[in-house]
Amino acid sequence: MREQLLAAEKVKAIEWRDGVLHLLDQRALPFEETWLSYHAAADVAEAIRSMVVRGAPAIGISAAYAIVLALRARLQAGGDWRAALDADFQLLADSRPTAVNLFWALKCMRDRLDRLKSTDDPLALLEACAVGIHQGDREANLTMAELGVDLIRRHQGNQQNLLTHCNAGALATGGFGTALGVIRAAFHDGLLERVYADETRPWLQGSRLTAWELAADGIPVTVNADSAAAHLMKTRGITWVIVGADRIAANGDVANKIGTYQLAVNAMHHGVRFMVVAPSSTIDMATEHGDDIVLEERDASELLALGGKRIAGDIDALNPVFDVTPADLIDFIVTEKGVVDRPDTEKMAQLMCRKRLH
């Protein structure tokens, strides 16, 4: 399965080449494939904020490379480069609040920096650390795809109709995706009839990104309005909802793209299984409960315009972009360390003590 997935790899969002970070501009997809080049950490922070790059693991990986860019600039400037670097860490940490992979990746880079010996080459070692974060995410994607597809095989067998939300694919990670990694594996295993992709208002990650990624792989995909999901569960034989996550609290509550919570409520009502696929870098053991997660709210203009054109008058609008799905609505959390069924605080703590499986 790993070989099949690797051979089918088509889409990627992040490239680190010759000391420069290249990001596929996800705002322009699916009609334009524009790669932007980044030489400075402040520009990467802005790329994260403005959604050139998005998706929890991809944000973390980009921030790690941004620290390498920052370190190079601070070393060239001379003086107290360690103190100066603090401002770069802070700028990146302030770019988006919910995806914990951002803070996890910055902590990995900070820890590596703190372990440097006086004889070490800081730039070479920090670059190796960022590349390791990127590579580790690719590996985690592969392991999760195998574990997730195994659950589908065991629990329901052939010809599944799967529903997904937002984009948890190659564009959102360093590899094949989390939720879309499992979906790709199900396709290669002959288990898939069709994927239904919620369009995902207001950024349309489902119709612009997920449908594009899956169609490029020849995977049968149909886009639906977010509000059609309950109806599809009732009428289209949906067997699983499979989504990614931006932050998983210590009790198994899951923050993900706005609309995930209502999918979980609807899935429970219709007897549809609910799977969350996320690397352990998305698990935040320091946050006890989902209610403690900071949920990003973006500008109301994102809701009141479509394709740059205003679609409503001068009215009030609320644009929370994440919600929290309580653990008791979740059947499985799939990570590279293993699977947690019916998550709770104890099972999440046990998971985090395990080593990664591959």
Task: Determine how many CB atoms are found less than 10 A away from the CB of residue 187.
Answer: 23
Contacting residue, 62, 173, 207, 210, with ligand MRU by CB under 6 A: 173
Q: Would you give the distance in Å from CA 183 to the centre of its chain? A: 15
Site mask, ligand MRU, residues 309-328, x = CB under 6 A? ------------x-------
Site mask, ligand MRU, residues 185-214, x = CB under 6 A? --------------------x---------
Q: How is residue 278 written in tokens? A: 């996320």
Q: Is 246 in the site for ligand MRU (CB under 6 A)?
A: yes
Q: Is 244 in the site for ligand MRU (CB under 6 A)?
A: yes
Give the list of residues 6+ apart from residue 216 with CB closer than 8 angstroms, or none: 10, 11
Could you tell me which of 194, 340, 345, 228 has the C-alpha nearest to residue 284? 345
Q: Rounded to the nearest whole angstrom, what is the least distance from the CB of residue 171 to ligand MRU in the complex?
A: 9
Q: Is 54 in the site for ligand MRU (CB under 6 A)?
A: yes
Q: Is 23 in the site for ligand MRU (CB under 6 A)?
A: no
Could you tell me which of 276, 280, 270 has the C-alpha nearest to residue 333? 276
Contacting residue, 23, 45, 168, 263, with ligand MRU by CB under 6 A: 168
Q: What separation in angstroms does the CA of 270 have from each of 229, 267, 343, 347?
A: 11, 5, 20, 26
Q: Rounded to the nearest whole angstrom, what is the least distance from the CB of residue 282 to ligand MRU in the complex?
A: 7
Q: Is 166 in the site for ligand MRU (CB under 6 A)?
A: yes
Alpha-carbon distance of 270 to 273, in angstroms, equals 9
Q: Rounded to the nearest whole angstrom, what is the least distance from the CB of residue 225 to ligand MRU in the complex?
A: 18
Of 244 and 252, which has the nearer Cβ to ligand MRU? Answer: 244
Q: Is 246 a catalytic residue?
A: yes
Counting DSSP H helices and E strands in the chain, the numbers are: 12, 16
Give the list of residues 6+ apart from residue 189 with CB closer than 8 angstroms, or none: 1, 149, 153
Q: Which residues are at the interface with ligand MRU (CB under 6 A)?
A: 54-57, 99, 166, 168, 172-173, 178, 205, 244-246, 256-257, 321
The catalytic residues are 246
